[in-house]
Amino acid sequence: MIFFRRVPLAWLQLTRYKLRLVVAILGIAFAAILIFMQLAFLDSLYESQTALHTRLVADLVLINSQMKTLANTTDFPRQYLYRTLNFSEVESVNYVYHGQNSFKYGNVSGGKGIIILGINPENSPFKIANFNRVAHLLKARGVVVFDRNSDLKEYGSILEDIKSGEPIAAEVGDRQVWINGLVNFAGASFADDGNLITSSMTFNYLFPHRSANNITIGLVNLKPGVNRKAIAKKISALLPASVRVMTKQEFIKYEKHYWATSAPIGFVFSMGVFVGFLVGVIIVYQILYGEVSDHLPDYAVLKARGYKHRYFLNILFQEALILAVLGYIPGLITSLGLYAIVNDATALPMNMTFPRALLVLLLTIIMCFTSGAITMNKLRDANPADLF
């Protein structure tokens, strides 16, 4: 390929000034790290805030129309959920009580509070591995199970104490509960420190000001082969406008949409990606501009000998590609370490994914090529007439 035929010249020009090359690589790596971290925070935001949604066992979901996010719940009458049983397409229904409150264990209290989920222990609305081992314990009032994926640093030695096998006392709001088991569940999020799962009876004990006849999430399971969107429209027409009916996937998108458009934190992380890209463009532009400026007399001589402008453009973009690859590699390695640190410190999901790694590589290449495109105008200053 013609583009790669002259890579040695581009490489020699970049490596002529070693310090400049190192500075360029560090600058591009910094921009790549910034993009990596902002994208990870953004994905972590969406993943943590929809972790509960993805674990629901349901085809359709009913919520109060005024509820924009589970972080700020609004209930609706349970009778509307049972009305869906009038449709022959409906197999079964279930429900979830959802609330947030302060949580204290010993002398340690969580910073953001904890989510309390009230369910029917005999018919769990969530996909939870080995839940049947602890489900029967929840039949007693005041008993809860603790999500081991919660932000444990907020609750001292709670995990080790639970593993002892004996129920341990804690406080939710101003009421005492007994933690009698562990489950692998949704974990911490940007809005809370973790989760407690209990029975609807205990939930109503912990939230006496809320009506037991009102639920937060209604779940509908359909018979095999039923068109989910079509039946969702039929059910929605039967229910009042105060109740919203959607598929499970639409419910997940609904939550993500709130955090992407209405919550400031989503905008901040998105803006961080743009800033990282812009920083990289500026750094690479300065490096390429310096390279072109240093070699203008050489380019003028080559132009006088018949080399076309396209030849120098090839060299310029080869340099941009080399810088992109050399800067991306340390940026990727450093980001992996930072992901591990953040995950350990916050319990938020911070994992490197292949799509994200590929996306940042493409953004880094585009970033460097954008700088090359801006620098092209400087190449026109290589005028053979200026040699004489």
Q: Helix, strand or coil for residue 367?
A: helix
Q: Position of tokens 């029917």? A: 120
| Residue of 56, 252, 52 lying closest to 147 (CA atoms) | 52
Q: Could you give the CA distance from residue 93 to residue 53 in angstroms, rounded to a whole number? A: 16
Q: Could you give the CA distance from residue 299 to residue 297 in angstroms, rounded to a whole number? A: 5
Q: Which of 48-57, 92-101, 129-138, 365-374 has the lowest mean pLDDT?
A: 365-374
Average pLDDT over residues 98-117: 84
Strand ranges (DSSP E) for the chain?
60-64, 76-77, 90-101, 103-105, 108-109, 114-119, 143-147, 168-172, 175-183, 195-199, 214-215, 217-222, 243-247
Q: Tell me the pLDDT of the chain averaged across its residues.
A: 86
70, pLDDT greater than 80:
yes
Instruction: Give per-residue pLDDT as tens, 163-175.
Output: 777 888 989 988 9
Average pLDDT over residues 86-106: 93
106, pLDDT greater than 80:
no
pLDDT score of 6: 45
Strand ranges (DSSP E) for 226-266?
243-247
pLDDT score of 135: 92
383, pLDDT greater than 70:
no
pLDDT score of 174: 87
21, pLDDT greater than 60:
yes
Instruction: Give per-residue pLDDT as tens, 209-229.
Output: 999 999 999 999 999 999 999
Average pLDDT over residues 323-340: 94
The domains of the chain are located at 2-49+264-387, 66-240
Q: What is the largest CA-CA distance in the chain?
A: 96
183, pLDDT greater than 80:
yes
pLDDT score of 354: 93
- Judging by beta carbons within 10 Å of its beta carbon (0-12, 13-18, 19+), is residue 367 exposed, middle or buried? buried
Average pLDDT over residues 309-326: 83
Average pLDDT over residues 127-150: 91
Which position has the higher pLDDT, 309 or 25?
Answer: 25
2, pLDDT greater than 80:
no
pLDDT score of 301: 67
Which position has the higher pLDDT, 79 or 72?
Answer: 79
pLDDT score of 292: 72
pLDDT score of 3: 47
pLDDT score of 1: 47
Q: Position of tokens 């030695």? A: 157
Instruction: Give per-residue pLDDT as tens, 222-257.
Output: 999 999 999 999 999 999 999 999 999 999 999 999
What share of the chain in percent tops pLDDT 70?
Answer: 90
Average pLDDT over residues 160-187: 88
For residue 260, give both structure tokens.
């992407």
pLDDT score of 198: 95
Average pLDDT over residues 312-325: 84
Q: How confident is the model at residue 385 (pLDDT cuts 50, 70, 90)?
A: low
pTM of the model: 0.81
162, pLDDT greater than 80:
yes
Instruction: Give per-residue pLDDT as tens, 345-361.
Output: 877 788 899 999 999 99
Q: Which of 32-36, 93-97, 185-189 has the lowest mean pLDDT?
A: 185-189
